[in-house]
Amino acid sequence: MKHVSKLLGAAGTAALLSLVANPAQAAATSAGTTITNTAQVSFQVGGVAQTAQTASNAIIVDAKIVLTDTIVGSATTLVAPGQTGAVATFQVTNSSNEIIDVGLSAAAQATGATTAHGGTDSVTATAMTYWVNTNGSATCSYSSANATQVAFLDQLAVGATQCVYVLATIPSTATNGQVAGINLTVTAESAATPGTQGAALTQSGSGVAWTPGTMQTVFGDAAGNGGDSAFDGKYTALADYTVAAPVLTVNKNSIVVNDPVEGTSNPKAIPGATLQYCIVVANASTASASASNINISDVLPTTVTYKPGSVVLNAAVTGSGASATCGAGTAGSDTVNYTTTPNPTVSGTLATLAPGASEGLLFQATIN
């Protein structure tokens, strides 16, 4: 029997080790759940079984609050100067063991701070609002047709995620390559009343003793971004907007093409001479975006008279800057115009100008 007992003990030990090595995976027990178990002791007196004795114990599961939000897709969104409704996409996750409301608070990063994609904050985004998918989809892809503005996330279930879109306005003074960093801080809040934003949760504190029979709150969140601390019931994620804009320069040059004395041989700017003006618009190769609907307007002084039919848009440009000259060209898809009221004016509209491209508006006038 002694030998048999040893075999049984070995088998039991092996089984126990197996359980330890392969623990059962289970969902976190919900906060507020009462866990009750009862121990029973049976015994005999003189070989006669007596009434078993029992003892029960009950505890209430405390709330463990774990809240995160992360940027979805690219850390930066390309935007234009003056753009409204610039979208940054986040996903908020409730890994707590109870339903919570989630407070939303977005703010611009400080000038000079390191932004989400490693740039430096140099322009301030404003007028930030929060939006979610109207149909409740967990797929984060903003669509104005399927978006509802919110002030907070209502009743976010245990283990649930929700897409949050921060829409912002970019200053019209922003220039190509500038970055507007933002942070979105989510805060765990009480979800006692559906449809009504709860108050921020407070935890019992590491120095507070456990109180059986009472549900206490413990923050289990990790440290977020932008100086966010661990175990504070909040989490902060960063995103940013990078300004993609054209970088335009304009130069206006002139040459004398003929005069009534010298003709076309060494003409001078004397009365009766014909001047040829060249207005060059260039978009730098370093620009991140094309310019469109570029309107050029030149009001002529009373000392010159426009030469009818001489205006040419989309003219070929030779050289650059102050030394650029215009050659032959055609209007193409662009438009040109000359009006006499209220003042004699040559004008034209360039349809588009890509980075690195330049186009000219050429016209002639006679010196009075």
- The CATH number for 213's domain is 2.60.40.10
pLDDT tens for each residue of 183-223: 999 999 999 899 999 999 999 866 788 888 889 999 999 99
Q: What pLDDT score was predicted for residue 18? A: 40
Per-residue pLDDT band at 21 (split at 50, 70, 90): very low
pLDDT tens for each residue of 239-270: 999 999 999 999 998 889 999 999 999 999 99
Q: Which of 210, 243, 276 is the last residue of a domain?
A: 243
Together in a domain, 124 and 184 = yes
Of 157, 102, 160, 106, which Cα lies nearest the Cα of 130? 106
Q: Work out how many domains the chain is built from and give that number.
A: 2
pLDDT tens for each residue of 79-92: 999 999 999 999 99
In this predicted structure, the answer to whether residue 331 has a pLDDT above a threshold of 70 is no
In this predicted structure, the answer to whether residue 312 has a pLDDT above a threshold of 70 is yes
Strands 63-65 and 217-219, bridge-based pairing: parallel
**Domain for residue 274, yes or no?**
yes
**Residue 20 — φ and ψ, nearest 5°?**
-65, -40
Q: How far apart are CA 293 and CA 248, in angstroms?
A: 13
Q: N- to C-terminal Cα distance for the chain?
A: 130
Together in a domain, 72 and 193 = yes
Q: How far apart are CA 27 and CA 9, in angstroms?
A: 32
Per-residue pLDDT band at 12 (split at 50, 70, 90): very low
Q: How far apart are CA 208 and CA 252, in angstroms?
A: 76
CB 66, CB 231: distance < 8 Å: no
Q: What pLDDT score was predicted for residue 361? A: 87
Q: What pLDDT score was predicted for residue 299? A: 93
Of 212, 252, 213, 218, which Cα lies nearest the Cα of 233? 218
Cis peptide before 212 (omega within 30 of 0): no
Q: What pLDDT score was predicted for residue 338? A: 80
Q: What pLDDT score was predicted for residue 24? A: 45
Partnered with residue 101 across adjacent β-strands are 189
**Domain for residue 26, yes or no?**
no
Complete edge-to-edge strand list for the sheet that includes strand 335-339? 291-299, 345-353, 335-339
Measured CA distances, 345 to 206, 306, 351 (Å): 77, 9, 20
Together in a domain, 192 and 341 = no
**Domain for residue 252, yes or no?**
yes
In this predicted structure, the answer to whether residue 360 has a pLDDT above a threshold of 90 is no
Residues with Cβ within 8 Å of 36's Cβ and at least 6 positions away in sequence, in order, are: 56, 57, 58
**Domain for residue 304, yes or no?**
yes
Q: What pLDDT score was predicted for residue 85? A: 97
pLDDT tens for each residue of 27-38: 789 999 999 999
Q: Which of 243, 278, 298 is the last residue of a domain?
A: 243
Tell me what percent of the chain is helix, strand and coil, each rounded to the nearest 5. Answer: 5, 45, 45
Per-residue pLDDT band at 323 (split at 50, 70, 90): confident
CATH of the domain at 316: 2.60.40.740
Containing structural domain, residue 315: 248-367
Together in a domain, 82 and 197 = yes
Q: What pLDDT score was predicted for residue 301? A: 93
**Domain for residue 358, yes or no?**
yes
Q: What pLDDT score was predicted for residue 334? A: 55
Q: Is 322 helix (H, G, I), strand (E, B) or coil?
A: helix
Residues with Cβ within 8 Å of 86's Cβ and at least 6 positions away in sequence, in order, are: 77, 79, 125, 167, 168, 169, 170, 241
Residues with Cβ within 8 Å of 313's Cβ and at least 6 positions away in sequence, in order, are: 296, 329, 331, 332, 334, 335, 336, 348, 349, 350, 359, 360, 361, 362
Q: What pLDDT score was predicted for residue 16? A: 35
Q: How far apart are CA 282 and CA 219, in angstroms?
A: 57
Buried b or exposed e, range 196-225, using 16+ CB within 10 angstroms: ebbeebebbeeeeeeeeeebbbbbbbeebb
In this predicted structure, the answer to whether residue 175 has a pLDDT above a threshold of 70 is yes
CB 86, CB 169: distance < 8 Å: yes
Together in a domain, 255 and 209 = no
In this predicted structure, the answer to whether residue 337 has a pLDDT above a threshold of 60 is yes
Q: How far apart are CA 294 and CA 349, in angstroms?
A: 5
Of the given ranges (97-106, 126-135, 165-174, 347-356), which has the lowest mean pLDDT? 347-356
Q: What pLDDT score was predicted for residue 26? A: 56
Instruction: Quote the DSSP letter at residue 240.
Output: E
Together in a domain, 224 and 349 = no
Average pLDDT over residues 171-175: 96
Residues with Cβ within 8 Å of 337's Cβ and at least 6 positions away in sequence, in order, are: 311, 346, 347, 348
Together in a domain, 226 and 315 = no
Together in a domain, 227 and 252 = no
Of 164, 188, 207, 228, which Cα lies nearest the Cα of 97? 188
